[in-house]
Structure 1
Amino acid sequence: MTTPIVTPVRPHPKEIKQVTLGSGDITVQDLVAVARYGAKVSFSQAYCDRVNQSRGLIEKFLEENRLIYGVTTGFGSNVTKVVSPEDAETLQRNIIYSHAVSVGEPLEHEIVRATQFMILLVLGQGFSGVRLEVLKAIASLLNHHIVPFAPGDGSVGYLSPEAHMALVLMGEGSAWYQGQLLSGRDALAKAGLQPINLSCKEGLALITGTTSVTAIAALALYNATQAVKTADIAGAMSLEALKGTIKAFDSRLNALKKHSEQVQTAETLLRILSGSEIADTYKDYRLQDALSLRCIPQVHGAVKKALKDAEKNIVNEMNSVSDNPIVYPLDDDGIALMGGNFDGTYVGMSADAMCVAMANLAKMSERRIDRLVNYHVSELPDFLVVNPGLNNGYMIPQYTAAGLFAEIQALSHPATINNIPTCAIQEDVVSFAYNAARKAYQISTKLEHILAIELMTAAQALDFHHPLKPSPATGEVYRIIRKQVPMLTEDRLLYPDMCNIHQLIHEGEVVKVVEEVIGHIIL
């Protein structure tokens, strides 16, 4: 058996119970730990010190009545309108009221939590001029599991969903608490918290930047990273069940393409299939297989390269300052720098690339599903059921996979190439990165469902190879599937089976049991 490659393995987000901001760069795993699994958020002393220093500067600027966008001026094209220091608080309240105009279904709870986490991360860099009290209030919402109601439709890049979230800090809007949707004031009161009044710069800071874009993209990236590892596993199981040859994964062949991800994927497939009686029996059965089996290293490898590139951009953005204006400290003073760090194009283009990458995974998986259930090519019973005709078996889940792939195709059109000017042409170029990130998030979930169908059908196909045994790695996947999904002998309701396997993928259990056998799956 191939010796497992020993590489540092990041902790699963479920294992991270607390994330302290200000003690170094934050990872995607940290964000998922807070957003999805409820890890607590705390601040280091360095975090608190730099926030307080930045706040001191913004108050100095206000005292001196310096002309600063969004502090002593209006917003957007209203930058030409001067606002007196006496009206600074009213200005910040008004920006929240006027911008809370997104519509449609509310964002998923984990997206709202991830966005709030990103707000803490960005504003805590010490260049935004907000009070520490405001950031502590946001952390309290996270730590008390108060989730603001934020409609998800109608944002061109940021602003509106974040404004709905900010309403709850003020005791307005709506929020979920302990399973109930309450008014913002009631949700705070039930958790023993008090609303706050926003002061100068704070309303603008809470809604400006790439916070929601980066939050959604990071969640999509995490899902996609688990999905591509799962796709390697599902592809290996399908090849095993379809009497495929492992010769296409020969290291000599794959090394001739100068892409390390392809070489590593081929090695991963060999490690997954090592010890398989089925694969060993049929390694010379065909000269070569269909492309959905033969080209797994090439296609999955290209997907991994795209995700690695996206991760670099997303993590860089997570640890960047995307506010405007920037409160920049000097020796004994400071300056307000006004620019465009709020633009989300880096993350948006990466999200668009992730959409295309995940669409290619879905394309491969759907074709393998069809081969598994298609008796014309599978050499297995019709639709993988013992008594076809009376029973439809796994005929229709392939339809589901095809439908999901069609939706993924439509969602994969890049969003960041679009443009609709806003704000009286002051904002004449719009990133639409928010749309790109949301598409990537939606695709990641649809992809997980397609992979669940492939694993379900591959497990059923392996049953027809008895008494030949699968590999130790695929055998473990078969085992955890069969704990929840029995072999299909006659038609039954398949929806629960598909959901159960989807949950195994989403929670990383499929990857976990395989990595316990073969070692870390490298991207």
Structure 2
Amino acid sequence: MTTADCLQAKDIKEVVLGDGEISIEEVIAVARYGAMVSFTQTYCDRVNKSRSLIDKFLDENRLIYGVTTGFGSNMTEVISPQDAETLQRNIVRSHAVSVGETLEKEVVRAIQLMILVNLGQGYSGVRLQVLNLIASLLNHDIIPFVPGDGSVGYLSPEAHMALVVMGEGKAWYEDELIPGAEALGKAGLAPVTLGAKEGLALTSGTTSVTAMAVLALYNSMQAAKTADITGAMSLEVLKGTIKAFDPRPHSLKKHGEQAKTARNVSRILEGSQIIDTYKEHRLQDALSLRCIPQVHGAIKKVLKDAAVSIENEMNSVSDNPLIFPEEEDGIGMMAGNFDGSFVGIYADAISIALANLAKITERRIDRLVNHHLSELPNFLVVNPGLNSGYMIPQYTAAGLLNEIRVLSHPATIDNIPTCANQEDVISFAYFASRKAYRISKKLEYILAIELMTATQAMDFHLPLKPSPVTEEVYHLVRSEVPMVEEDRFFHPDIEAIYRQIHEGEIVKLVEMAIGEIEF
């Protein structure tokens, strides 16, 4: 994946599964922007082949975990073929026990897509009918009701989703929360009766872990690019010296991301009268300005490494047991591909990286609003005292940073055995990915506050002109957020800029001017 790909998701209208690997931008296209999902003939053929082997195993009454046995520590209980459907229905009902706040719409859609990718590779024995129905849920925008708290890695949120496939549970359809069977009926769809292996397959695997990690990574890579832009604007309006971004010091560090970040800032600020006027203003700047290449660069390296692991997991098979089609026969193999450690550990790393990006961004915000440091009007308003100006948005950034710091504690280092100690090592990758996703959105708000305050600071430098690039960003922000001359309701301003960041408008505008922001 290239970082430029992250900005193309909105343009993808259909994602076809079956031939080749799925990309991060395709996941975002389906999850966030409603792209349609379809299957190739190759996809259908391998699903059908895998299912035929499950039928064969049932006819032969082979001992296969979750097919002819119970689940977890109940694996010693043999289940007759006649009870196969009851077993699969029971696993879905009994496992749908996550609680609390529901998962966001885009998270549920991303998980549904990951289920289709995982089970469509021909090693799970699920009928094509079941996968077609899940694709139809996506294409009809039926969103299962999924409480998001209480998962150790998988099972419970996925079970809530599987209830709707069975015609049970609840789902949103046309913005109304209704019984699952009713939602299917209104869309002209019919539930399925789950057969052998299918209930287990729909609840197992790293699908929720991976889905949330993809969303977190997408937001994070876009945020890291945005931070180069907002950081450059802060450097500009705080009379920072561009000398710290000279390529010579950065050539002595063996981290390519550092030098690339320095080039990004220099390219963004090229042609700035403000930068040119104040290039000798002080010998060196505070670290939140001077160390943008080092800090931002280190964060990008973590995100790039995480992308490799997450993309690998996206295109892996994480089911158990796995059905291998060997000649006319086949074999069911019990293993542990459902473990989410590869993604979970990197999700924890993403959280720590984003906490560092939030930390440096918040410090720049403080410098912008603090007249002791900025050499600008206090809190960036013409009449401070009568007006609070941007005093309190810095509080918001500080509060968000505190939340991010707490959430950045690693989840995957924990271990609480489950299932009568049959599952004695638990990844806790689910919460690792979920908190990385939460952090990514909180960071976008902090960046929005930096962009809002840097834009306001630019007005106090007239008649000196900013760089052509930062001037374009200024006008984009000002198209929705007017200059602050007296106090007003600032929440809509922050939300408007957050949307510009979240939807990639800021990055797209800058890359149209200077080419791709190097990562």
Q: What's the counterpart of residue 391 of structure 1?
A: 387
Q: What's the counterpart of residue 51 of structure 1?
A: 47
For the residues of structure 2 that align with 1:19 and 1:339, how far apart are their CA atoms? 30
Shift in Å at residue 20 of structure 1? 0.3
For the residues of structure 2 that align with 1:472 and 1:436, how far apart are their CA atoms? 40
For the residues of structure 1 that align with 2:288 and 2:467, how far apart are their CA atoms? 20
Pair 1:509-2:477 in alignment: no
Q: Which runs of 5+ in 1 are unaligned?
A: 1-5
Pair 1:409-2:405 in alignment: yes
SS in 2 for 1:311: helix
Asked whether the 8 Å contact 1:373–1:382 carries over to 2, the reply is: yes
Q: Within 5 A, what are the aligned runs for 1:91-490?
A: 91-490=87-486
Shift in Å at residue 170 of structure 1? 0.8
Q: Which amino acid aligns with 2:511?
A: E
SS in 2 for 1:341: coil
For the residues of structure 2 that align with 1:397 and 1:10, how far apart are their CA atoms? 29
Shift in Å at residue 275 of structure 1? 1.0
For the residues of structure 2 that align with 1:473 and 1:321, how far apart are their CA atoms? 45
Q: What's the counterpart of residue 89 of structure 1?
A: 85
For the residues of structure 2 that align with 1:87 and 1:458, how far apart are their CA atoms? 66
Asked whether the 8 Å contact 2:6–2:218 carries over to 1, the reply is: no
1:497 equivalent among 483, 493, 499? 493
Percent identical pairs in the alignment equals 70
For the residues of structure 1 that align with 2:7 and 2:509, how far apart are their CA atoms? 15
Q: Which amino acid aligns with 1:236?
A: A
SS in 2 for 1:36: helix
Shift in Å at residue 249 of structure 1? 0.8
Q: Note the alpha carbon deviations across 1:386-442, whole angstroms, 9 max, x for none.
A: 000000000000000000000000000000000000000000010000010011011
For the residues of structure 1 that align with 2:15 and 2:469, how far apart are their CA atoms? 33
For the residues of structure 2 that align with 1:76 and 1:101, how far apart are their CA atoms? 16
SS in 1 for 2:33: coil
Pair 1:66-2:62 in alignment: yes
For the residues of structure 2 that align with 1:478 and 1:54, how far apart are their CA atoms? 56
Q: Which runs of 5+ in 2 are unaligned?
A: none
Shift in Å at residue 280 of structure 1? 1.1
For the residues of structure 2 that align with 1:389 and 1:101, how far apart are their CA atoms? 53
Number of corresponding residues? 518
For the residues of structure 1 that align with 2:499 and 2:223, how far apart are their CA atoms? 12
CA pair 250-476 structure 1, distance change in 2 beyond 3 A: same
SS in 1 for 2:479: helix
Shift in Å at residue 8 of structure 1? 6.8
Asked whether the 8 Å contact 2:13–2:35 carries over to 1, the reply is: yes
Shift in Å at residue 281 of structure 1? 1.0
For the residues of structure 2 that align with 1:8 and 1:399, how far apart are their CA atoms? 33
Q: Which amino acid aligns with 1:103?
A: V
For the residues of structure 1 that align with 2:50 and 2:443, how far apart are their CA atoms? 43
Asked whether the 8 Å contact 1:416–1:432 carries over to 2, the reply is: yes
**TM-score, with length taken from structure 2:** 0.99
For the residues of structure 2 that align with 1:11 and 1:509, how far apart are their CA atoms? 9
Q: Within 5 A, what are the aligned runs for 1:3-82?
A: 12-82=8-78
CA pair 11-383 structure 1, distance change in 2 beyond 3 A: closer
Q: Note the alpha carbon deviations across 1:342-389, whole angstroms, 9 max, x for none.
A: 000000001000000000110010000000000001000010000000
Structure 1 stretches of at least 4 aligned residues deviating more than 6 Å after TM superposition = none
**TM-score, with length taken from structure 1:** 0.98
For the residues of structure 2 that align with 1:126 and 1:9, how far apart are their CA atoms? 28
For the residues of structure 2 that align with 1:58 and 1:317, how far apart are their CA atoms? 25
Shift in Å at residue 283 of structure 1? 1.1
Shift in Å at residue 105 of structure 1? 1.0
Asked whether the 8 Å contact 1:92–1:204 carries over to 2, the reply is: yes
Asked whether the 8 Å contact 1:77–1:424 carries over to 2, the reply is: yes
Q: Which amino acid aligns with 2:446?
A: I
Asked whether the 8 Å contact 2:88–2:196 carries over to 1, the reply is: yes
For the residues of structure 2 that align with 1:162 and 1:475, how far apart are their CA atoms? 47
For the residues of structure 2 that align with 1:207 and 1:197, how far apart are their CA atoms? 15
Asked whether the 8 Å contact 1:34–1:40 carries over to 2, the reply is: yes
Shift in Å at residue 183 of structure 1? 0.4
Q: What's the counterpart of residue 3 of structure 1?
A: none
Asked whether the 8 Å contact 1:9–1:520 carries over to 2, the reply is: no
